Structure 1
Amino acid sequence: MEISTISADQAYQMVQENKCNLIDIRELNELELTGRVEGANHIPMGNLETLLDPNSDVFKNGQIDKNKEVVLFCAGGVRSEMSVKSLTKKGFKNISHIEGGFGSIINSSFKIV
């Protein structure tokens, strides 16, 4: 199974062009310690499969646009890569993760709030 991996700069460009759903899968305590990425949705890894169901509220209320690519990131890239594998097995087609996770994001154009 091939995993789609993109750089933080590629993800930033996709966000600027409104072409993706950027999802931070870190735990809440990690966000509190290091900050949030402006514009990212927060769905902890343990809730991904439930909340990324097309019938869930995040799709129904427009928080996640099913017509755009889903881009995941965690702290370093390991959890997001595992999540992409898991979600791909569940039928997700348009999904990738950011290489290096939050560690590479802080050295990119993304704003940390």
Structure 2
Amino acid sequence: MYTIVAIHRAPKDPQAFDEYYENVHIPIVRRFPGVSAIRYGHVGDSTGTDAYLICNVEFPDKAAFDIAAASSVMTEALEDLPKFVTGQLDLHYVETVDHLATGAAA
């Protein structure tokens, strides 16, 4: 699997960020060709980090990611970032390996 990991730092206006993220940005990301899953959540206060929200955008493999990366939808998503990101954003591209816990369903 190949994953984009986006770590959003605290925005100036969390409510405006959340509304835009859910209603505008995520619908763009859902249109990436080949995307298999989008998982995101707010970081708890007890973690000792300034991260606000972490999002994983998953693809079956690097080839599928490469197709999405070259798409007009990826360009649209990247051009959308300055419209709502007011804190620092770290983007990481990760080749991931899944290990299921003992007894977990595949």
TM (norm. structure 2) is 0.29
Higher strand share: 2
Which of structures 1 and 2 has the larger relative contact order (alpha carbons within 8 angstroms, sep 6+)? 2
Instruction: Please tell me whether Structure 1 or Structure 2 has the larger radius of gyration of its CA atoms.
Output: 2
